Amino acid sequence: MMIDFDRQVRRGAPALRLAFFAALLGLPIALAACGPAAPPAPTPPPTVTPYTGPLDPEPITGPRFTSLAYGIQAFLWWDPTARPFDLEQARLMNFSTIKQIFAWEDIERVQGAYDWSIADEVVSEVNYRELKLVARVDHPPQWAIVDPTTRPDGIPFDVDAYAAYCGALAGRYRGRIAAYQVWNEPNLQREWAGHRPDAAGYVTLLGACYRAIKAADPDAIVISAGLAPTETEPPIAVPDERYLQQMFDAGLSAVYDVLGLHAPGYNNPPETSPDEAEAAGQRRWMVFRHVEDMRRIQIANGDAHKQVAILEFGWHVNPGIHPDYAWFAVDEPTQAAYLVGAYAYAAAHWRPWVGLMSTIYLGAPGWTGQNEEYWWSVTTWTDGVYAVRQAYIDLANMEKVMDDEVIPARDPGDVHHEPLAPRD
């Protein structure tokens, strides 16, 4: 369900991008065959037995992230004045990790010609503050979108060109970008160049990027794309649980380090279980703890030893932005309580198999009340005026649990900002 941005929104323009929300339910229809016999159906993959045991059945092997790693998504690309200010806000929060879109279309506008100018500035500013950087790698340029019928795998992107971009990015910033999120919500048609989502095709794309990144920076962490929680059926979307199983059927295990998930809370408190949501007449995916259903699929497919990264989660605070969103809006004190509660729940119940948890968002300059994303954010820029919501204050001051280290909750009036070292 999480929201993605077109180029205009990423630049900070006041454009509204509506997400798919309504669940389109369909029934299978059997059609009688006419004429020549159809070719034999492909052999279905082996049935995976549903997993119902504990969420930590075996040790995490070589955890890639601290558990927990506290992250937040920022928009550092287009405004060099706001960039250092937002990064200082993240430091004040005692958060360790920044997630930022490194849009393919912004760096390789012309095939083979890379413009690293803004990327260099972003990486430098994040590294200067000793924050870890997660790069989300998607937004293909128009030249890289192809007719899927021209490819035997049916993928609507130039896979070789994408791999070349991933490798060039990882090579340039070896040791400076900690992790790469490969694509975003590919189970939505709009994220798959308007074509029917295809989990096997995504795994092919992921594998090409994975191999290119590892060749350029073997220590970099590769995170699979977060999936949109939904029950919408093709061609608009593929339900995220089904899509994840299809990814494993297509060989996912060999081409990721950490499993990426999305976890919007809708109007439910973070401790609400999927079973409780169903009992209340909602869907299992309408709760933050839908993460647990997805983790069970990971375990059932033999990857219990790998961590999960929650790449997007949050609660939005405006019931009027769009009629379909009104039912799951909360007020600002509730947003704050639920975000803090989500981290507390994960610290108590999901460690060490959950590593990174990335809140949405540090608001982008230029967003206004007409932008849906503005209402998910914990900070805002409006006409050049910066403001924080209660969620920002409470996230900054809450207790933080990181492996064996605990940073105790702090009094809002007793916040110390460590000075930055001189630049080299």
Per-residue CA distances from 147 to 9, 141, 156, 166, 192 (Å): 26, 14, 6, 22, 12
What is the 3 state secondary structure string of the chain?
CCCCCCHHHHCCCCCCCCCCCCCCCCCCCCCCCCCCCCCCCCCCCCCCCCCCCCCCCCCCCCCCCCCCEEEEECCCCCCCCHHHHHHHHHHHCCCCEEEEECCHHHHCCECCECCCHHHHHHHHHHHHCCCEEEEEECCCCHHHECCHHHCCCCCCECHHHHHHHHHHHHHHCCCCCCEEEECCCCCEHHHCCCCCCCHHHHHHHHHHHHHHHHHHCCCCEEEECCCCCCCCCCCCECCHHHHHHHHHHCCHHHHCCEEEEECCCCCCCCCCCHHHHHHCCCCHHHCCCHHHHHHHHHHHCCCCCCCEEEEEECCCCCCCCCHHHHHHCCCHHHHHHHHHHHHHHHHHHCCCCEEEEEECCECCCCCCCCCHHHHCCCEEEECCEEEECHHHHHHHHCCEEECCEEECCCCCCCCCCCCCCCCC
Walk along the chain (424 residues) and give the pLDDT tens digit of each residue: 443 334 444 544 333 333 333 333 332 222 223 333 444 444 555 678 999 999 999 999 999 999 999 999 999 999 999 999 999 999 999 999 999 999 999 999 999 999 999 999 999 999 999 999 999 999 999 999 999 999 999 999 999 999 999 999 999 999 999 999 999 999 999 999 999 999 999 999 999 999 999 999 999 999 999 999 999 999 999 999 999 999 999 999 999 999 999 999 999 999 999 999 999 999 999 999 999 999 999 999 999 999 999 999 999 998 787 787 788 999 999 999 999 999 999 999 999 999 999 999 999 998 988 888 999 999 998 888 899 999 999 999 999 999 999 999 998 766 666 778 888 7
Q: Domain-by-domain residue ranges, the chain?
A: 60-407
60-407: which CATH topology?
TIM Barrel (3.20.20)
∠ CA 109-9-359, rounded to 5°: 110
